[in-house]
Structure 1
Protein backbone atom coordinates (compact mmCIF):
# COMPACT_ATOMS: atom_id res chain seq x y z
CA UNK A 1 0.00 0.00 0.00
CA UNK A 2 2.90 2.38 0.67
CA UNK A 3 4.42 3.32 -2.66
CA UNK A 4 7.32 5.63 -1.87
CA UNK A 5 10.76 4.01 -2.23
CA UNK A 6 9.16 0.93 -3.70
CA UNK A 7 7.78 -0.12 -0.33
CA UNK A 8 4.66 -2.19 -0.75
CA UNK A 9 2.32 -3.69 1.79
CA UNK A 10 4.29 -5.80 4.26
CA UNK A 11 1.37 -6.47 6.55
CA UNK A 12 1.63 -2.98 8.01
CA UNK A 13 -1.24 -2.00 10.25
CA UNK A 14 -3.12 1.16 9.28
CA UNK A 15 -1.36 3.01 12.11
CA UNK A 16 2.07 1.76 10.96
CA UNK A 17 1.30 2.92 7.42
CA UNK A 18 0.34 6.35 8.74
CA UNK A 19 3.49 6.60 10.85
CA UNK A 20 5.71 5.37 8.03
CA UNK A 21 4.41 8.07 5.71
CA UNK A 22 5.03 10.71 8.39
CA UNK A 23 8.55 9.38 9.00
CA UNK A 24 9.24 9.69 5.28
CA UNK A 25 8.37 13.39 5.62
CA UNK A 26 11.29 13.53 8.07
CA UNK A 27 9.13 14.37 11.07
CA UNK A 28 10.53 13.68 14.53
CA UNK A 29 8.86 11.16 16.84
CA UNK A 30 7.43 13.99 18.94
CA UNK A 31 5.93 15.65 15.87
CA UNK A 32 4.41 12.40 14.67
CA UNK A 33 2.98 11.72 18.13
CA UNK A 34 1.37 15.17 18.23
CA UNK A 35 -0.12 14.76 14.75
CA UNK A 36 -1.82 11.46 15.51
CA UNK A 37 -2.54 12.11 19.21
CA UNK A 38 -0.48 9.36 20.81
CA UNK A 39 2.54 9.33 23.11
CA UNK A 40 6.13 9.35 21.92
CA UNK A 41 6.51 5.92 23.56
CA UNK A 42 3.72 4.58 21.34
CA UNK A 43 5.47 5.98 18.26
CA UNK A 44 8.69 4.25 19.30
CA UNK A 45 6.85 0.93 19.62
CA UNK A 46 5.38 1.35 16.15
CA UNK A 47 8.80 2.35 14.82
CA UNK A 48 10.28 -0.91 16.09
CA UNK A 49 7.58 -2.91 14.34
CA UNK A 50 8.08 -0.95 11.12
CA UNK A 51 11.87 -1.40 11.20
CA UNK A 52 11.47 -5.13 11.82
CA UNK A 53 9.07 -5.52 8.88
CA UNK A 54 11.37 -3.52 6.60
CA UNK A 55 14.46 -5.35 7.78
CA UNK A 56 16.29 -2.17 8.81
CA UNK A 57 17.89 -1.04 12.04
CA UNK A 58 17.18 2.67 11.92
CA UNK A 59 15.05 5.28 10.19
CA UNK A 60 17.89 6.61 8.04
CA UNK A 61 18.15 3.20 6.35
CA UNK A 62 14.90 3.77 4.46
CA UNK A 63 13.62 7.34 4.86
CA UNK A 64 15.97 9.04 2.43
CA UNK A 65 15.55 6.73 -0.55
Structure 2
Protein backbone atom coordinates (compact mmCIF):
# COMPACT_ATOMS: atom_id res chain seq x y z
CA UNK A 1 0.00 0.00 0.00
CA UNK A 2 1.24 3.48 -0.80
CA UNK A 3 1.68 5.92 2.08
CA UNK A 4 1.64 9.67 2.41
CA UNK A 5 2.74 11.76 5.36
CA UNK A 6 1.05 15.16 5.63
CA UNK A 7 2.73 17.63 7.97
CA UNK A 8 1.06 20.74 9.36
CA UNK A 9 2.78 22.17 12.46
CA UNK A 10 1.13 25.57 12.53
CA UNK A 11 -2.19 26.98 13.70
CA UNK A 12 -5.61 25.37 13.90
CA UNK A 13 -7.13 27.34 11.02
CA UNK A 14 -4.38 26.26 8.64
CA UNK A 15 -4.79 22.64 9.72
CA UNK A 16 -8.56 22.73 9.21
CA UNK A 17 -8.19 24.31 5.77
CA UNK A 18 -5.55 21.73 4.75
CA UNK A 19 -7.27 18.54 5.93
CA UNK A 20 -9.49 18.06 2.85
CA UNK A 21 -6.37 17.64 0.68
CA UNK A 22 -6.13 13.99 1.81
CA UNK A 23 -9.51 13.28 0.21
CA UNK A 24 -8.47 13.96 -3.41
CA UNK A 25 -9.24 11.13 -5.80
CA UNK A 26 -5.63 10.25 -6.67
CA UNK A 27 -4.93 9.46 -3.00
CA UNK A 28 -7.80 6.99 -2.75
CA UNK A 29 -6.58 3.76 -1.22
CA UNK A 30 -3.41 5.33 0.20
CA UNK A 31 -2.47 5.10 3.88
CA UNK A 32 -2.63 8.74 5.05
CA UNK A 33 -1.06 9.96 8.26
CA UNK A 34 -0.94 13.52 9.60
CA UNK A 35 1.78 15.09 11.76
CA UNK A 36 0.26 18.03 13.63
CA UNK A 37 1.14 20.47 16.41
CA UNK A 38 0.73 19.29 19.99
CA UNK A 39 -2.71 20.15 21.34
CA UNK A 40 -4.57 19.98 18.02
CA UNK A 41 -5.42 16.26 18.18
CA UNK A 42 -9.09 17.01 18.66
CA UNK A 43 -9.27 18.27 15.06
CA UNK A 44 -8.45 15.00 13.24
CA UNK A 45 -10.22 12.96 15.94
CA UNK A 46 -13.48 14.80 15.24
CA UNK A 47 -13.07 15.16 11.49
CA UNK A 48 -15.24 13.20 9.08
CA UNK A 49 -13.61 10.92 8.18
CA UNK A 50 -11.45 10.60 11.28
CA UNK A 51 -7.74 10.86 10.46
CA UNK A 52 -4.64 9.06 11.75
CA UNK A 53 -2.21 11.52 13.31
CA UNK A 54 0.84 12.11 15.46
CA UNK A 55 1.13 15.22 17.65
CA UNK A 56 4.54 16.87 18.01
CA UNK A 57 5.77 19.91 19.90
CA UNK A 58 6.79 22.58 17.41
CA UNK A 59 9.84 23.72 19.37
CA UNK A 60 11.28 20.25 19.89
CA UNK A 61 12.84 19.41 16.55
CA UNK A 62 14.95 16.53 17.90
CA UNK A 63 13.20 13.23 17.40
CA UNK A 64 10.86 14.53 14.70
CA UNK A 65 12.85 12.83 11.98
CA UNK A 66 12.90 9.45 13.76
CA UNK A 67 9.17 9.56 14.53
CA UNK A 68 8.18 10.54 11.00
CA UNK A 69 10.52 7.97 9.43
CA UNK A 70 8.91 5.24 11.53
CA UNK A 71 5.51 6.23 10.10
CA UNK A 72 6.79 5.78 6.55
CA UNK A 73 8.79 2.59 7.13
TM-score, normalised with respect to structure 2: 0.27
Q: Would you tell me which structure has more strand in proportion to its own residues?
A: 2
Structure showing the higher helix proportion among its residues? 1
TM-score (norm 1): 0.29
Which structure's CA Rg is the greater one?
2
